[in-house]
Amino acid sequence: MVSIVLLLDSVILMAVAGVTLWWMMHAWRTPEVLEATAFAEPDGRHGLSFSLLVPARHEEAVLRHTVEGMLRIDHPAYEIVVIVGHDDPGTSAIAHELAAEHPDKVKVVVDTHETKNKPKALNTALPHAGGDIVGVFDAEDIVHRELLSHVDFAFRRESADVVQGGVQLVNYDSSWYSLRNCLEYFFWFRSRLHLHARKGFIPLGGNTVFVRAELLRETGGWDGNCLAEDCDLGVRLSSRGAEVVVAYHAALVTREETPDSLTSLLKQRTRWNQGFLQVLRKGEWRRLSAFRQRVLARYTLSTPFLQAATGVMIPAGLIVALIGGVPLPFALAAWLPMLPMVTMMVFEAVALHDFGREYGFVIRPAHYLKLIAGGPLYSLLLAVAALRAVWREYTGRADWELTSHVGAHLDLDRRETAGTAR
């Protein structure tokens, strides 16, 4: 019986690792696929107007830098809507200062909900959004000045309902886990979201996402009780057959920072995982028209269960294989998942080189060692976050655990800005 369980354990782990690797590699399968992931060059026209929503809660350290950067956007028709809580005087003061300094571009909306979270803030601002397109950004974002021109053209060229741009964590050298965190975003926005858009089911990214305002209002905005409101919106729009365009260009990505501590990272991943479980439980994905889409949706939204199970199955399988007591073929089978995992590590190292080349970062041998050595610990942290999310969902806890921002990525932006000025 132990041998059969061990074999089943190994087969499941190998399958999960193989699927993950295949999805990670999507954008790099052929030069044509890689080229197709980029924004097309704009035609010089500006046919749409934009309302850029910026939820900000306890963001005194980063909000001014973000809004001032957004004010340099080269598109002629956009507004910045900063959403602050009625109980957050520090952030509110900065937001109102910015609105007073730039009354033609910046407006402030106050969220008076007793319980605060991002989707409730966004819904509060939606009636105040006057643009054709509603875009969402986080309070620590560094937004490229030419982004809206590219997004405008993408909407018109593709007759799109939604355009998802790229987001990239950039402070890769801040901590032992920041390098892996940055590479995760690189894979997600550089590759995997393109696969989801191609298949017709996409859990949208949390920001740099643009939706036609009319469609957003028709679908009821964001689910104020969901911990992954971006994923939920993507599922609902996918089920309606919305045309989603995903585009990525390293020069145009929105730059962000990694969580500043392991505790923050754990809570952030717990929230995302639990949000996926909430969307899975809601069942909107069952309205997807194609069977393959529904299979992809179920698998994607069940990822927290798979990560939680992996966190238990890998050490259990290796312990059994090392201790012995099972026939040799079954003991050897316990090591089968290592094949795609080793392949994945090699591919991650190649992608790290690509990441450094695309962003102009100096990647040294020590970074490759950090990437490999940190892999098991990082996987363990993700498994713990998944287990925590499953437990919170089972026990009915759904409070929003806010990720704090300290501006660790801003030094890179200031150095680049100074270099450009020289």
Instruction: Considering the domain delimited by 31-293, tell me its CATH architecture.
Output: Alpha-Beta Complex (3.90)
Query: Which 3-state string (H, E, C) describes 69-126?
Result: HHCCCCCCCEEEEEEEECCCHHHHHHHHHHHHHCCCCEEEEEECCCCCCHHHHHHHHH
pLDDT digits (tens, 9 = 90+) for 103-162: 999 999 999 999 999 999 999 999 999 999 999 999 999 999 999 999 999 999 999 999
At residue 148, the pLDDT reads: 98
Query: If we measure between CA atoms, which residue out of 119, 207, 117 comes closest to residue 168?
Result: 207
Q: How many CB atoms lie within 10 A of CB 324?
A: 9
Q: Please report which helix (H) or strand (E) contains residue 211, including its range.
A: strand 209-212
pLDDT band of residue 408 (cuts 50, 70, 90) is confident
Share of the chain above pLDDT 70, in %: 86
What would the mean pLDDT of 16-23 be, rounded to a whole number? 78
Mean pLDDT confidence for 55-80: 96
For the ranges 136-150, 220-234, 375-389, the lowest mean pLDDT is seen at 375-389
The SS3 assignment for 335 reads: coil
The domain segmentation of the chain, as residue ranges, is 2-23+295-397, 31-293
Mean pLDDT on 36-41: 91
Distance CA 266, CA 341 (A): 23
The pLDDT score that the predictor gives to residue 32 is 87
Strands (E), 284-332: none
pLDDT at 102: 98
In this model, does residue 289 exceed pLDDT 60?
yes
Q: What is the pLDDT of residue 283?
A: 95
Quick check: 212 pLDDT over 80? yes
Residues in CB range of 259: below 8 A, 6 or more apart? 181, 265, 268, 403, 404
Question: Is residue 145 within 8 Å of 130, Cβ to Cβ?
Answer: no
Q: What is the mean pLDDT of the chain?
A: 88
- pLDDT tens for 304-359 read 988 887 766 666 555 655 565 555 454 545 555 556 667 788 889 999 999 999 99
Confirm if 254 and 145 have CB atoms less than 8 A apart: no
Q: What angle do CA 149, 154, 156 make, to 5 degrees?
A: 100
Q: What is the amino acid identity at position 341?
A: M
Interhelix angle 262-282/365-395, rounded to 10 degrees, is 50
> Minimum mean pLDDT among 6-15, 36-45, 404-413: which range?
6-15
Task: Work out the percent of the chain whose per-residue pLDDT is above 90.
Answer: 72
* pTM of the entire predicted model: 0.89
Which of the residue ranges 26-35, 332-341, 356-365 would you say has the lowest mean pLDDT? 332-341
